[in-house]
């Protein structure tokens, strides 16, 4: 076979991407493309799994059976989303357990929003409405990502997110129309989650070191600031509609541009939480480690049982 | 303590009677039965399936993308296998 140079392989690779031809697992890809995807998809998977914890916190205290069944189904979906994504990351040759160990040692990150505590039932509403709403904004463009398995996982995820957002909005809008205490609970929750939700889109474009390369590779299809603006534009009228106030005194609508203008984001807070100093970082990672450690004997027993059955059926045959 | 990881399984779902099983993704399970049970929970939470196949991933033998040109060349170079290759005179119908 004729020897092909790396630069020629890279040229063909970029040509495929420019022509919107998807990259599939066994195709040649630049090592940095593979590593970028492993990092991004595994951190996305960790976010889904860690994201089960703040909501899991309220399953036993849901106010009625309907809410409890819905919350259980939602948290189960998050587990499913994590598994679609770990499945996608394995197609890149990454080891699933090794990526999970990276989460536990702090090497791999996850969405910083899950390091905030869920102190009231209203937070179940706010998370569905804002956090899943922001996740939808982030994830819809990834359905067109250049890497086939990631794009396909995102299509599944996005189909399910709409239920998440609606169940959350139903909770928060009912509270907002309730007693003064209920309305205060809804407003308090919005006050706590609004800014962290805006931070979910990541640093400003000027500060985002991976954006340019990821856009060229079509891993990312919109910038952080574009998506954040879109989120603000659709969410502010929803808050107004249910009578809640966005906790941003600088927020105003610009008639000329047709967009809302918002106050400055506290990026120091964002970086502190990313670095591990948020209110719940330690609690979240400890919970994941505990689940892995305390489940070890179950995984081992299941494997031993499967191997014993295999041996027995080999002897019989 | 053994650190042996559960094997990887490829999952195929028949979405309704009359259609093929279609690949949907993979998961880890200690044996085939657990793979089917987990596939139900991971891939069919919203009635996406009526039947599940699981195949251990290391049993799948796949063609190489670099061989694709030569492998599929015979199909690409024989346009006369397609009905559009043939001229049908005007006025001829049911063909």
Say if B64 falls within a structural domain: yes
Say if B48 falls within a structural domain: yes
Query: Which chain A residues touch B if contact means CB-CB below 8 Å?
Result: 24, 26-28, 73, 76-77, 80, 83-84, 87-88, 90-91, 96-97, 149, 152-153, 159-160, 296, 299-300, 302-303, 305-306, 309-310
The mean-pLDDT minimum among A179-183, B22-26, B31-35, B77-81 falls in: B77-81
Say if B39 falls within a structural domain: yes
Say if B93 falls within a structural domain: no
Cβ of B1 within 8 Å of Cβ of A83? The answer is: no
Our count of domains for chain B comes to: 1
Say if B81 falls within a structural domain: yes
What is the span of the domain harbouring residue B18? 3-85
Say if B92 falls within a structural domain: no
This prediction has a pTM of 0.94
- pLDDT tens, residue by residue, A131-186: 999 999 999 999 999 999 999 999 999 999 999 999 999 999 999 999 999 999 99
- Can you spell out the DSSP letters for chain A? -----HHHHHHHHHHHHHTTPPB-TTS---HHHHHHHHHHHHHHHHHHHHTHHHHHTTGGG-SSHHHHHHHHHHHHHHHHHHHHHHHHHHTTT--HHHHHHHHHHTSS---GGGGS---STHHHHHIIIIIHHHHHHHHTGGGG-SBHHHHHHHHHHHHHHHHHHHHHHHHHHHHHTS-HHHHHHHHHHHHHHHHHHHHTT-S-GGG-SSHHHHHHTTS--S-HHHHHHHHHHHHHHHHHHTT---S-TT-EEETTTTEEE-----HHHHHHIIIIISTTHHHHHHHHHHHHHHHHHHHHHHHHHHHHHHHHHHHH-
- pLDDT tens, residue by residue, B10-26: 999 999 999 999 999 99
B78: domain CATH number is 3.10.20.520
C-alpha A105/C-alpha A99 separation (Å) is 10
Question: Reduced to 3 states, what is the DSSP secondary structure of residue B47?
Answer: coil
Q: What pLDDT band is residue B1 in, cutting at 50, 70 and 90? A: very low
Q: What pLDDT band is residue A317 in, cutting at 50, 70 and 90? A: confident
Q: What is the reported pLDDT for A268? A: 97
Q: What is the reported pLDDT for A4? A: 85
Say if B21 falls within a structural domain: yes
Say if B91 falls within a structural domain: no
- pLDDT tens, residue by residue, A245-271: 999 999 999 999 999 999 999 999 999
Q: What is the mean pLDDT of chain A?
A: 96
């Amino acid at each position: 076979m004729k020897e092909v140079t790396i630069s020629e392989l890279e040229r063909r690779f970029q040509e495929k991407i420019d022509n919107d031809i998807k990259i599939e697992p066994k195709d040649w890809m630049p090592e940095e493309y593979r590593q970028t995807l492993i990092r991004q998809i595994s951190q996305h998977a960790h976010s889904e799994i860690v994201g089960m914890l703040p909501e899991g916190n309220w399953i036993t205290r849901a106010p009625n059976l309907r809410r409890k069944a819905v919350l259980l189904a939602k948290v189960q979906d998050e587990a499913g989303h994590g598994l679609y994504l770990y499945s996608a990351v394995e197609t890149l040759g990454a080891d699933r357990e090794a990526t999970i160990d990276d989460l536990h040692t702090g090497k791999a990150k996850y969405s910083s929003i899950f390091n905030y505590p869920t102190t009231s039932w209203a937070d179940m509403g706010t998370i569905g409405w804002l956090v899943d709403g922001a996740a939808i904004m982030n994830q819809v463009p990834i359905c067109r990502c250049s890497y086939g398995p990631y794009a396909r996982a995102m299509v599944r995820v996005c189909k399910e997110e709409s239920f998440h957002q609606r169940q959350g909005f139903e909770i928060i809008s009912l509270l907002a129309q309730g007693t003064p205490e209920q309305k205060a609970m809804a407003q308090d929750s919005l006050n706590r989650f609004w800014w962290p939700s805006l931070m979910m889109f990541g640093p400003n474009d000027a500060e985002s070191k991976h954006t340019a390369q990821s856009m060229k590779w079509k891993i990312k299809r919109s910038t952080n600031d574009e998506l954040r603006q879109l989120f603000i534009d659709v969410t502010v009228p929803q808050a107004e509609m249910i009578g809640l106030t966005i906790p941003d005194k600088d927020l105003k609508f610009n008639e000329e541009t047709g967009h809302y203008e918002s106050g400055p984001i506290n990026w120091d807070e964002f970086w502190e939480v990313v670095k591990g100093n948020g209110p719940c970082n330690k609690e979240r990672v400890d919970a994941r480690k505990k689940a892995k450690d305390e489940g070890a004997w179950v995984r081992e027993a299941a494997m031993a049982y499967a191997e014993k059955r295999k041996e027995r059926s080999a002897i019989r045959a | 303590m053994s650190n042996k990881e559960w094997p990887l399984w490829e999952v195929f779902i028949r979405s309704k009677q009359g259609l093929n099983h279609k690949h949907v993704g993979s998961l880890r399970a200690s044996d085939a039965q657990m793979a089917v049970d987990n596939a139900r929970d991971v891939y069919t939470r919203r009635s996406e399936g009526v039947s599940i196949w699981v195949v251990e991933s290391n049993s799948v033998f796949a063609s190489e993308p670099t061989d694709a040109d030569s492998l599929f060349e015979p199909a690409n170079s024989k346009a006369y296998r397609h009905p559009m290759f043939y001229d049908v005179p005007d006025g001829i119908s049911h063909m």
